[in-house]
Amino acid sequence: MAKIKFKKLRLTKKVFSVPYILFLLLFVVIPLVLILVNAFLDSDNNLTLENFKTFFTSRANLIVLGNSLLVGVITTAFCLIIGYPVAYFCSKMSSGRILVLLYILPMFVNFLIRTLATKAIFIAIGVELGMGTVLFGMVYNYLPFMILPLHTTISSIDKCYAEAAQDLGASKATVFLKTTLPLSTSGIISGITMVFIPTISTYAISQLLSNGKIFLFGDSIQLSFEQGLYGVGSIMSLVMLAFVLISNLIMNAFNSNANAVRRSLW
């Protein structure tokens, strides 16, 4: 009888990548393809461009999109204004890593639970729910995503640069503006990316912290799918995906410029 030979399974890099590839296919590629297909189908599964017309001619949808981008910019700005000083001073302290860990600790709690707790606090102290509470909830939820990359980047900056600048007569403010800030640009860009992109696509925070008065783009997408408007909802999802890709391209361009600045300092 002929002997059947079995090839030995070798644990190579390709073998370990198979589960990840399958995961991407099942939960990323296939859903994106379905969204793309639904964008060109009507309720009777006929090819149409009516979904694009419905979205782009709706003034309400465009206003919601604009409000979402505005909230994303404001949230990112506040996170940067608050997060950079925190990350900077933590990087200078011996116990800085512990303090950063305390800032990151709320991330281990589900964001929905954190948001509900924040809403309960506002109600208890009599604060009216609206745009102010929504922005507070956004900053509270996404601030750790700004602090962590900033602290990592600032902590990795060689102290020799600051010492050399001080030896040449530069003041502390000049050392910060001419040395520390340019060298920490990559951390700033990473923080902006990690805050802005999820902010413009969020939906639960705005709904809970405004009692449904503030309607953002993520809420519109959810509502469209709940009402069975899969075509319009798919168009909205593609628009959001386009903004995410554009944001990444812009951040990558800034990151390239930041690398050029670092090379010039070195």
Q: Among residues of the chain, what percentage have pLDDT more than 90?
A: 28
State the pLDDT at residue 137. 93
Q: By C-alpha distance, which of 79, 84, 78 is closest to 176? A: 84
Separation of alpha carbons 46 and 38, rounded Å: 10
Tokens encoding 151: 């602290």
The answer to which of 100-104, 136-140, 232-236 has the lowest mean pLDDT is 100-104
- Which residues are 47's β-sheet partners? 41
Res 86: pLDDT? 92
Question: CATH assignment of 30-265, given 1.10.3720.10, 3.40.50.720, 1.10.645.10, 1.10.10.10?
Answer: 1.10.3720.10
Q: What is the DSSP letter of 180?
A: I
Q: Confidence band (pLDDT; 50, 70, 90) for 4?
A: low
Q: Is the pLDDT of residue 84 over 60?
A: yes
pLDDT of residue 45: 81
Closest CA to 219 of 54, 64, 38: 64
Q: How far is CA 164 from the centre of its chain?
A: 36
Least confident of 105-109, 117-121, 127-131, 195-199: 105-109
* pLDDT > 90? residue 5: no
Q: What is the C-alpha to C-alpha distance for residues 260 and 266, in angstroms, rounded to an integer?
A: 10
Output the pLDDT for position 75.
95
pLDDT at 8: 58
Say whether pLDDT at 216 is over 70: yes
* 103 or 141, which is more confident: 141
The reported pLDDT for the residue numbered 125 is 94
Indicate whether 1 pLDDT > 50. Answer: no
Q: What are the tens digits of pLDDT across the range 6-57? A: 455 566 777 778 888 899 999 889 999 999 999 998 877 888 888 888 888 8
Domain residue ranges of the chain, discontinuous segments joined by +: 30-265
Q: How far apart are the first and last CA of the chain?
A: 71
Res 259: pLDDT = 62
Q: What is the mean pLDDT of residues 219-229?
A: 87
Q: Would you tell me how many other CB atoms lie within 10 Å of the CB of residue 114?
A: 16
Q: Which two tokens stand for residue 57?
A: 């001619």
pLDDT at residue 220, as a whole number: 87
